[in-house]
């Protein structure tokens, strides 16, 4: 079983990862794009066509595995379930690999994808098992599943953390209800595969300059979906309210960030919008998608706060004001970084990658400098570091808040100010891009 999972998930993943890359490199991808194939058909063709060899190998290994199962007195239903998990898991991973293959250039896609697959393989328990009442999400759990003896779900004693610690079956807790892990995993795989496929299908026949992973509405849907999973399986009982908020806020901000990067417009798009007169010159339109994402972060940040308030398991560290402040600070922070990246991306040559690199370097350097200055140690220093590195707010104690709230407000204002600077830089770039000399078309098209 393990061997089959290995072959299908890793081998198939790699082949999918290379599928579109190779075609693009050989210049044969265009020929497939000009056929009558609908994007969905093309995507499905790639999804099952690229790893077809691996499916074949799995089929060859199957008799041996089945003999093993019979000898080992495995329950047939679990063996079937294990296959379902492997295949569905493999499909969802292949879909992700296909998406990477489509969007990234070869080196980046392969490195990222291989790293991801290795993590998946080395750590079969890979899952947010510390945060979530959820077992392993890796398809490699199939070999465990095939040896299970009972479908019964047993609520675990509250203290246990590691899910497969024997004796409790494969139980997850969804909104307080125990559910069998296999069912959860199957549903998750299917829905993630659907999301990834949606992105592939949307883009596979497009001009690479016009790739856009999701529409804003779809991005919002994806965000809500992830949140539903997280909130549903969240280990509310294990964490204090403020820790819970910190985790959820951190998660949502990073998600918004990733989606934001995906929504960023490149020069080609902006130029097209201008040329067709579809881009107004207002501030809001010019700053897109930053305001949308800032608002999104605000909303998904406020939801856990509301939940925590309703659940009412609040402790001494919990303060509604601090919680709201955190959300506000994070939204402003996201606004700032997205505006920066959008600006970088609109500059000549589309420097998104460089922008991301600068950003990473910036945070690492700032962290080192502040660390050596021991600014994280003092309440006021902490507030100061938040000007550049807002996550410092997670170390903010309630007592310190009372003393240094003014400094923290300054940090918040600083975020907004920096965001404003990047916003105006971006506006300048846009103005340059849409200048009459730059767009011979705009005038002619209007005439």
Partner 1 sequence: MFLERGNSVEAPAAILLENLSKVYDLPPGSAGAAQAVAADNLNLRIAEREVFGLVGPNGAGKTTTLKMICGLLVPTAGRIVVNGVDVERDPEAAQGGIGYLADFFSLYDDLKVWEYLDYFAHAYKMAPETIAGRITDVLRLMGLEGKRGAFIGALSRGMKQRLGIGRAIIHDPPVLVLDEPAVGLDPKGRIEFRQLVHELNGRGKTVLITSHLLHDLEEMCTSIAIIEKGRLLRSGRLEQILGEGVRERRVRIMVASPGFPLVEWLSRREGVTGVTGAAPIGAQFSFAGGPSELASLVKALVVAGASVYAVEPVGETLEKVVMGLSRGEVT
Cβ–Cβ < 8 Å for 90, 189: no
Interface with partner 1 (CB under 8 A), residue from 3, 35, 320, 421 = 35
- CB-nearer residue toward partner 1: 276 or 313: 276
> Exactly one of 115, 152, 190, 209 binds partner 1 (CB under 8 A); which one?
209
Residues in the chain: 447
* Count of residues of this chain found to bind partner 1 when the rule CB under 8 A is applied: 35
Whichever of 217 and 444 has its CB closer to partner 1, that residue is: 444
Q: How many helices (H) and strands (E) does the chain have?
A: 19, 2
Residue with Cβ nearer partner 1 (112 or 350):
350
Q: What is the C-alpha separation between 352 and 205, in angstroms, rounded?
A: 23
Residue closest to 128 by CA, chosen among 137, 118, 119, 140: 137
66-88 burial: b if 16+ Cβ within 10 Å, else e = eeebeeeebeeebbebbbbbbbb
d(CA 355, CA 346): 11
**Hey, which residues between 240 and 259 contact partner 1 (CB under 8 A)?**
none
Q: Is 26 in the site for partner 1 (CB under 8 A)?
A: yes
Residues 6+ apart with CB under 8 A from 289: 216, 260, 263, 264, 265, 338, 342
31 counts as binding partner 1 under rule CB under 8 A: yes
State yes or no: residue 210 binds partner 1 (CB under 8 A).
Answer: yes
Question: Using the rule CB under 8 A, is 36 a contact of partner 1?
Answer: yes
152 sits near partner 1 (criterion: CB under 8 A): no
Q: Does residue number 271 form part of the binding site for partner 1 (CB under 8 A)?
A: yes
Instruction: Give one word for 435, left, alpha or beta, with left for phi > 0 and alpha for psi -120 to 50.
Output: beta
- Between helix 76-103 and helix 39-49 the angle, nearest 10°, is 120
Question: Which one, of 78, 77, 86, lies nearest residue 57 by Cα?
Answer: 86
Candidate residues 112, 178, 350, 420; the one interacting with partner 1 per rule CB under 8 A: 350
Please, what is the minimum distance in Å from the beta carbon of residue 41 to partner 1?
9
Q: Which is nearer to partner 1, 172 or 212 (CB)?
A: 212
Query: CB within 8 A of 369, min separation 6: which ones?
Result: none
Residue whose CB is less far from partner 1, 73 or 348: 348
**Residue 280 found at the interface with partner 1 (CB under 8 A):** no
Alpha-helix residue ranges (DSSP H) falling in 264-319 = 267-275, 283-287, 290-311
The one among 119, 152, 276, 399 contacting partner 1 by CB under 8 A: 276
- Asked whether position 122 contacts partner 1 by CB under 8 A, the answer is no
Among positions 202, 238, 272, 427, the unique one binding partner 1 when judged by CB under 8 A: 272
User: Phi/psi class of residue 224: alpha, beta or left (left: φ > 0; alpha: ψ in -120 to 50)?
Assistant: alpha
The residue from 200, 219, 229, 275 that contacts partner 1 (CB under 8 A) is: 275
Site string for partner 1, 422-441 (x = CB under 8 A): ----------------xxxx
Residue 33 near partner 1 by CB under 8 A: yes
- Applying CB under 8 A, among 38, 353, 397, 428 the residue interacting with partner 1 is 38
How far apart are the C-alpha atoms of 351 and 442, rounded to whole Å? 25
Per CB under 8 A, does 28 bind partner 1?
yes
Distance CA 234, CA 132 (A): 5
Comparison of 101 and 434: residue with beta carbon closer to partner 1:
434
Q: Residue 77 or residue 281: which is nearer to partner 1 going by CB? A: 281
Residues lying near partner 1 in the complex (CB under 8 A) are found at: 26-28, 30-38, 205-207, 209-210, 267-268, 271-272, 275-276, 347-351, 438-442, 444-445
């Amino acid at each position: 079983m393990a061997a089959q999972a290995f072959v299908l998930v890793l081998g198939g993943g790699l082949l999918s990862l290379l599928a579109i890359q190779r075609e693009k490199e050989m210049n044969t991808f265009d020929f497939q794009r000009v056929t009558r194939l609908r994007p969905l058909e093309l995507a499905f063709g790639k999804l099952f066509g690229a790893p077809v060899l691996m499916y074949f190998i799995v089929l060859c290994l199957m008799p041996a595995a089945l003999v093993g199962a019979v000898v080992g007195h495995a329950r047939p239903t679990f063996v079937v379930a294990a296959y379902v998990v492997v295949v569905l898991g493999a499909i969802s991973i292949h879909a992700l690999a296909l998406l990477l293959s489509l969007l990234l250039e070869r080196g980046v896609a392969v490195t990222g994808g291989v790293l991801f697959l290795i993590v998946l393989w080395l750590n079969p328990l890979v899952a947010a098992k510390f945060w979530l009442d959820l077992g392993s999400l890796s398809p490699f759990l199939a070999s465990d599943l095939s040896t299970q003896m009972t479908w019964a779900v047993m609520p675990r004693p509250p203290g246990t953390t590691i899910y497969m610690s024997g004796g409790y079956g494969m139980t997850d807790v969804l909104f307080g209800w125990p559910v069998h892990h296999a069912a959860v995993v199957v549903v998750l795989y299917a829905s993630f595969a659907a999301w990834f496929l949606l992105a592939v299908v949307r883009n596979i026949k497009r001009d690479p300059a016009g790739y856009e992973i999701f529409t804003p509405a779809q991005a919002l849907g994806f965000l809500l979906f992830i949140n539903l999973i997280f909130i549903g399986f969240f280990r509310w009982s294990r964490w204090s309210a403020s820790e819970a908020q910190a985790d959820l806020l951190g998660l949502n901000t990073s998600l918004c960030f990733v989606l934001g990067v995906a929504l960023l417009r490149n020069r080609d798009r902006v130029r097209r919008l201008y040329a067709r007169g579809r881009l107004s010159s207002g501030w809001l339109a010019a700053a897109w998608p930053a305001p949308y994402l800032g608002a999104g972060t605000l909303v998904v940040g406020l939801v856990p706060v509301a939940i925590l308030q309703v659940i009412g398991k609040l402790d001494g560290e919990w303060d509604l004001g601090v919680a709201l402040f955190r959300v506000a600070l994070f939204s402003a922070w996201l606004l700032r970084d997205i505006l920066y990246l959008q600006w970088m991306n609109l500059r000549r040559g589309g420097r998104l990658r460089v922008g991301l690199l600068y950003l990473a370097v910036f945070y690492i350097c700032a962290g080192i400098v502040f660390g050596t200055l021991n600014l994280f140690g003092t309440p006021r220093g902490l507030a100061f570091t938040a000007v550049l590195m807002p996550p410092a707010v997670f170390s903010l104690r309630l007592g310190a808040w009372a003393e240094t709230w003014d400094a923290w407000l300054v940090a918040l204002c600083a975020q907004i100010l920096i965001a404003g600077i990047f916003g105006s830089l971006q506006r300048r770039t846009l103005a340059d891009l849409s200048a009459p000399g730059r767009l011979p078309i705009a005038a002619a098209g209007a005439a």
